[in-house]
Structure 1
Amino acid sequence: MDHTLVIVESPAKANTISRYLGKSYKVAASVGHIRDLPASTLGVDIDNDFKPRYITMRGKENVVRDLRNLKKESSSVLLATDPDREGEAIAWHLANILKIDETTPCRITFNEITKKSVEDALNSPHQIDMDLVNAQQARRILDRLVGYELSPLLWKKIRKGLSAGRVQSVTTKIIIDREREIKAFIPVEYWLITVHLCKKIDDPVFRVRYHGELEDNKVVKYSIDNAEQAEDLIKDLTDADYIVHKVTKRESKRQSKPPYTTSTLQQEASRKLGFTSARTMRIAQQLYEGVNLRDQGATALITYLRTDSVRISPIAIEAARNYIEKEHGNTYLPNKPRYFKNKKAAQDAHECIRPAHFDLSPQTIRNQLTDEQYRLYKLIWDKFIASQMNAAIFDTTSADVKAKTHIFRVRGETMKFPGWMKQYGMLPDMQEEETDELTKENLPDLEIGDQLIFVKLDSEQKFTKPPARFTEATLIRILEELGIGRPSTYAPTISTILNRRYIDKDGRFLIPTDLGFLVTELLEEHFTKIIDPYFTAEMEENLDKVETGEKDWIKLLHEFYPEFHSDVEKADKSIDKVEIPVVQINEKCPECTEGNLVIKHGRFGKFVACDRYPNCNYTRAIEVEAPGICPLCGSGLLAKRAKKRRSSKFYVCDKKGKDPDCKFISWDLPSGKNCSVCGSYTVKKKFRGKEYEKCSNAECTTNKKTKNKKETADTANENTDKNSRIKTETKSNINSKQTIK
């Protein structure tokens, strides 16, 4: 009875905290939530002010028994669950089940699991924050009411296994609205006219692009809308001289962005590392709770991962500045620390996501982390250190080139000082959409009046593009902008709508399914508020007010439920059974020979089945013709969808060619080309939205990180030949003035 019991959520967190506590403390884990609303009933007494009925979760009986026994053996208990709504609710449930007075100082919290933070928390225990608990209860009960009444309606009117929810249904609608925009989009034709120029014959070539016309000594922007306009412009340029009309030179500074919040970490891990939001949160949880390091044991590497704040503690700023001065020198260190403003809706309960130990750089512990832990930790480390470094400085040159009255424009920039990019990387954050402007050309020293040498001219027909489909990164960004959900809900919400088959993935893009459209259209017709992003955002604001004590949680539920329940009752009476369309494929069933084959919707998407089910159980995957030819036998290709990797396509031979037993199968679409090094077929790959070709032979030297000297020499020779060709082409085109692509 001479020790204090400290209870946390996870065994990993318990293991890490134990390092900093002496023999007078014993640390145990609740292994997440221990009580919840029952799964089989509503569990909410609506007529008694929405009083919840909590029960011990299935499988947690032994955990509760062990914690009760440990409490009997302890002189006191401290509840050290996570410092947020969920953590506070877990602490409250633990206090109830262990008969601890919640008004006593039984609660401790810390933003990072370090020796100092844990010791500071032990020295300042406090009572459980019931505003936080009630905020969690309000969300839980609200979500239970919506889900418990809407989901059975969907089962009854559409099919079993469906669900609707306060956040998931709005998120699905946002994706569907974007798809509607894409389908309604009408492309508009336009043309790009690009001229290749150089200052002297042997100088590097740079490009300028048509921008507009010089009218009354002012540049007026024009677009080229069709082939006729493009041809007229090209014809008029036949005998034109290209003169530098205007040059603007300036020094520009590019400041680093703030350190990560939960949302920005999920977005950037998606763009830069290709991680899903769920994967990012799983790895970040490991880094927060602690990983085993050889010389130190279980060690937490980052601060708390669920935060919408960019606030930084003075201690962390000082540690970052010391690191920058040591690793990069004074020129990279600002005179004053950099502070960042939180967004208006930010709770500011925690710091940003940052490293917890500044003596443990990613490189020093790389071989003690898994590959995914290292990559995410390095991303967090680099972002935080970069946020406290000086701006990157660029010399930027913008130039207008005149050809008769036609104005061509270009912009180039040269890095003068890398600043924060030395830590974070030379490339800025990836842009989701491409631009037609020339902004990164390597320009020579240009002066007004310089006459430039024409090399060639390219004309390209283009069409405006519809808005891009959402990726996980762009979806999280729009959810945050609209105020829908909170940092901890983004990942589970996306996982839910994928698992329900409302949304599919094509590469990294989110695409609504027929089922998603069907459910959303039903909700739009009968539950306008539930499906309205602005109503959902307003509800989030009210729930935040519960958290700060500005609003009573029971009153909030009374304001919401009566109208919602009335809508459910009306919909139940007015909605007829919705039949999911069955598509005939004009084939007889090969198994029973009596039924017709139809396309059905299942747990893993669409599939082909016999319409005599359950009398006939014949099924097969849907096969869609894919572009290209089989690289093994020259026949056609089919695209199939993997059963256990629902978002993934794979490709097989259609076996209609010279080899009916062809075994070709690949996750990637063949490009129709062969590798120049080993002769194997190449496949099309995508990385960060860009398509490239890769050799299918894993042993080919083109797939190795370090290529052999011969390849390096070949590449160098090829580049030399290319430069020679450019120079020759430049000289030969000086007189002809024009080559049209």
Structure 2
Amino acid sequence: MVSKLEKKEVRRSPLPPFTTSKLQQEAARWLQFPAKKTMSIAQKLYEGRELGKEGPIGLITYMRTDSFRIAEEALREVRGYIRENYDPAFLPVKARVFKNAAKAQDAHEAIRPASVAYKPKDIRQYLSNDQFRLYQLIWNRFVASQMNPAILDQTIIDTTAGGGDYLFRAHGSVMRFPGYTIVYTEGKEDNENEDDSGMTLPEVSEGEALTLISLSTEQKFTQPPPRFSEATLVRELEEKGIGRPSTYAAILSTIAERDYVRKEKGKFYPTDLGILITELLVKNFPRILDVAFTAALENQLDSIEEGKNNRLDTLNDFYIPFAEELKKARAEMRNIKKEETPTDVVCDKCGSTMVIKWGKNGKFIACSNYPACKNTMNIARDENGQTSREETQITDTICTKCGRNMAIKEGRFGRFLGCSAYPECKNTMPISCGVKCPEEGCGGYICERRTKKGKIFFGCSRYPDCTYALWERPVPETCPQCGAPFLVERSARGERTYIACLHKDCGYKRAP
């Protein structure tokens, strides 16, 4: 029986235009841009792009800001644009003014188009694809911020059974007026639940008896907190008061470049090196490695700027105790490079016990008889975390220097072929994907490589003589539709990987 029926109108107001941190978060969600890339593209849009006969035009306002403030002339222009291009119902009676955060410096206004007259579609020909996508995001958000709210009709139906012992609740809402969502909607993380917009519930009345047609159950478990993405990590930095909007991109790129984290499917995972560094620093510098300390230091810097604090006093308050902590750490901190952890693995060259050591590329297994024996192996761990040697994968590729077989090895920039006779022979070769380089007259082949940040890409073996490269993994099959020399693996957001033609305009696609 329907025990309760509730209907109400829900209004969803538009979000303010972008600040630096919000731009980085939304660009990560919608465009999958790292924060560093977002800021680099925004810098170019701010500095100006050549727009044909008009010459160089700055397309956005300054991109390092924590303010929602909008200039009066910009408000007049965007309201005029909405009035001319949309139904009158979309334009509020007066301009929307958004309140800044309590600690906002407000040195620059919000990130917005320099002029809404430069519509994204009209200037697309003058921008790269990434520049266009980011500019469109900024333009849409700004225009939407000055529109009326979206209006939804929300329905909640409570149904009871078993004499009132069991309660079932259904939510549904239907968009009555789209408002600002006709231009812009906020991106969501994969773990964030979607709302019930668009879900229509049947017409019922309170007290109406219902007939059970079917009953389905779904078991759910408590989930651990999700891994950080670019967007959620920037949000966490902002909420905890760590760094400034202008430093978020540098923070994220630094932890990746130093191999403290690795990125898989858009999520950050700490590496062994990152975990070790964190443990050592937190243990030896607990006062500094505290979120509250970092946020307090930011406040002290603000006070110096405002003339409330003396910079020398602030420096002394920090450095005098820090110097003592540093002296103590130098004397007591573990020397990781000298540590050796014994294993059950026996050296296959001299019979000595192998030990786990730390190198510039992380953990590895080395012979305890070093330097007499220089045998090393990569580390492998089973499902219980037990360490073992990683079996060397011998290939059919012959070493061009000594004639022995090459083996697959792992280095800082990914997998490569190294001579199985190492250290006697130190020859190395890139791993071929079985595909010849398509550049005319090159003669090289495509091989797997890795950027300094650890991202895999595929480039010509004759680099730097040939700079051909692509992100998609090549598949050694000729396209049956257009005859392209090879196919590639592709995947769209939320879709499974598929095999497609090298040339996107061909359109050939199949399951893997």
What TM bracket, shorter-length normalisation?
0.7 to 0.9
| Letter of the structure 1 residue corresponding to residue 85 of structure 2 | E
Could you say if the C-alpha distance between residues 596 and 316 of structure 1 is closer, same or farther in structure 2, counting changes exceeding 3 Å?
farther
Of structures 1 and 2, the larger Rg is shown by 1
Shift of 1:455: 3.7
Of the three residues 351, 373, 383, the one matched with 2:141 is 383
CA displacement 1:243-274 (0-9 Å, x = unmatched): 22211111111001111000010011111110
Residue 180 of structure 2: aligned partner: 420
CA distance in 1, matches of 2:346, 2:78: 68
In the alignment, structure 1 residue 407 sits paired with structure 2 residue 167: yes
Residue 303 of structure 1: aligned partner: 61
Residue 529 of structure 1: aligned partner: 287
Residue 450 of structure 1: aligned partner: 208
Residue 518 of structure 1: aligned partner: 276
CA contact (8 A) 2:262 2:268 kept: yes
CA contact (8 A) 1:588 1:594 kept: yes
CA contact (8 A) 2:490 2:500 kept: no
CA distance in 2, matches of 1:286, 1:500: 27
CA displacement 1:408-451 (0-9 Å, x = unmatched): 111111111111001114xx431453459977632122222334
CA distance in 2, matches of 1:313, 1:299: 19
| Letter of the structure 1 residue corresponding to residue 71 of structure 2 | S
| Letter of the structure 1 residue corresponding to residue 79 of structure 2 | R
2:167 is paired with a residue of what secondary structure? strand
CA distance in 1, matches of 2:342, 2:56: 57
Could you say if the C-alpha distance between residues 548 and 492 of structure 1 is closer, same or farther in structure 2, counting changes exceeding 3 Å?
same
CA contact (8 A) 2:172 2:201 kept: yes
CA contact (8 A) 2:356 2:364 kept: yes
Could you say if the C-alpha distance between residues 274 and 469 of structure 1 is closer, same or farther in structure 2, counting changes exceeding 3 Å?
same
Residue 696 of structure 1: aligned partner: 499
Residue 24 of structure 1: aligned partner: none
Residue 496 of structure 1: aligned partner: 254
CA contact (8 A) 1:601 1:607 kept: yes
CA displacement 1:28-84 (0-9 Å, x = unmatched): xxxxxxxxxxxxxxxxxxxxxxxxxxxxxxxxxxxxxxxxxxxxxxxxxxxxxxxxx
Q: How does 1:210-289 map to 2 (within 5 A)?
A: 243-289=1-47
Could you say if the C-alpha distance between residues 279 and 621 of structure 1 is closer, same or farther in structure 2, counting changes exceeding 3 Å?
farther
TM-score (norm 2): 0.73
Q: How does 1:310-709 map to 2 (within 5 A)?
A: 310-404=68-162, 405=164, 406-425=166-185, 428-431=186-189, 433-435=191-193, 441-578=199-336, 579=338, 582=341, 584=343, 586=345, 588=347, 601-605=358-362, 643=414, 644-645=450-451, 647-648=454-455, 687=493, 690=494, 692-698=495-501, 704=507
Shift of 1:510: 1.4
CA contact (8 A) 1:503 1:513 kept: yes
Could you say if the C-alpha distance between residues 548 and 571 of structure 1 is closer, same or farther in structure 2, counting changes exceeding 3 Å?
same
| Letter of the structure 2 residue corresponding to residue 419 of structure 1 | G
Could you say if the C-alpha distance between residues 606 and 408 of structure 1 is closer, same or farther in structure 2, counting changes exceeding 3 Å?
same
Could you say if the C-alpha distance between residues 704 and 597 of structure 1 is closer, same or farther in structure 2, counting changes exceeding 3 Å?
farther
Residue 60 of structure 1: aligned partner: none
Could you say if the C-alpha distance between residues 390 and 618 of structure 1 is closer, same or farther in structure 2, counting changes exceeding 3 Å?
farther
CA contact (8 A) 1:507 1:648 kept: no
Residue 729 of structure 1: aligned partner: none
CA contact (8 A) 1:598 1:608 kept: yes
Shift of 1:703: 10
CA contact (8 A) 2:61 2:113 kept: yes
Could you say if the C-alpha distance between residues 527 and 334 of structure 1 is closer, same or farther in structure 2, counting changes exceeding 3 Å?
same
1:414 is paired with a residue of what secondary structure? strand
| Letter of the structure 1 residue corresponding to residue 173 of structure 2 | E
Q: Provide structure 2 residue ranges, at least 5 long, that are not aligned to the other structure.
A: 384-407, 415-449, 458-470, 476-486
TM-score (norm 1): 0.52
2:172 is paired with a residue of what secondary structure? strand
1:459 is paired with a residue of what secondary structure? coil
1:457 is paired with a residue of what secondary structure? coil
Could you say if the C-alpha distance between residues 685 and 617 of structure 1 is closer, same or farther in structure 2, counting changes exceeding 3 Å?
farther
CA displacement 1:497-540 (0-9 Å, x = unmatched): 22222222222111222222222222222212210110111110
Shift of 1:357: 2.0
CA displacement 1:80-139 (0-9 Å, x = unmatched): xxxxxxxxxxxxxxxxxxxxxxxxxxxxxxxxxxxxxxxxxxxxxxxxxxxxxxxxxxxx
CA contact (8 A) 1:410 1:441 kept: no
1:304 is paired with a residue of what secondary structure? coil
CA distance in 2, matches of 1:383, 1:614: 62
CA contact (8 A) 1:682 1:694 kept: no
Higher relative contact order (CA 8 A, sep 6+): 1
Could you say if the C-alpha distance between residues 447 and 606 of structure 1 is closer, same or farther in structure 2, counting changes exceeding 3 Å?
farther
CA displacement 1:369-401 (0-9 Å, x = unmatched): 101101100010001110000000111111111
Could you say if the C-alpha distance between residues 249 and 586 of structure 1 is closer, same or farther in structure 2, counting changes exceeding 3 Å?
same
Give the CA RMSD over aligned residues.
3.6
2:115 is paired with a residue of what secondary structure? coil
| Letter of the structure 1 residue corresponding to residue 181 of structure 2 | M
Could you say if the C-alpha distance between residues 442 and 619 of structure 1 is closer, same or farther in structure 2, counting changes exceeding 3 Å?
farther
| Letter of the structure 1 residue corresponding to residue 127 of structure 2 | L
Could you say if the C-alpha distance between residues 362 and 599 of structure 1 is closer, same or farther in structure 2, counting changes exceeding 3 Å?
farther
Could you say if the C-alpha distance between residues 273 and 583 of structure 1 is closer, same or farther in structure 2, counting changes exceeding 3 Å?
farther
CA contact (8 A) 2:273 2:362 kept: no
CA distance in 1, matches of 2:53, 2:505: 39
Shift of 1:619: 6.3
CA distance in 2, matches of 1:263, 1:409: 37
Q: How does 1:162-173 map to 2 (within 5 A)?
A: none
| Letter of the structure 2 residue corresponding to residue 346 of structure 1 | A
CA contact (8 A) 1:695 1:703 kept: no
| Letter of the structure 2 residue corresponding to residue 416 of structure 1 | R
Could you say if the C-alpha distance between residues 424 and 434 of structure 1 is closer, same or farther in structure 2, counting changes exceeding 3 Å?
closer
Residue 293 of structure 1: aligned partner: 51
CA distance in 2, matches of 1:314, 1:248: 42
CA contact (8 A) 2:173 2:196 kept: no
Shift of 1:299: 1.2
CA contact (8 A) 1:683 1:693 kept: no
Could you say if the C-alpha distance between residues 277 and 382 of structure 1 is closer, same or farther in structure 2, counting changes exceeding 3 Å?
same
CA distance in 2, matches of 1:624, 1:293: 56
CA distance in 1, matches of 2:52, 2:503: 36
| Letter of the structure 1 residue corresponding to residue 168 of structure 2 | F
CA distance in 1, matches of 2:507, 2:382: 33
CA displacement 1:174-195 (0-9 Å, x = unmatched): xxxxxxxxxxxxxxxxxxxxxx
Shift of 1:496: 1.2
| Letter of the structure 2 residue corresponding to residue 407 of structure 1 | L
Shift of 1:329: 2.6
CA distance in 1, matches of 2:57, 2:310: 40
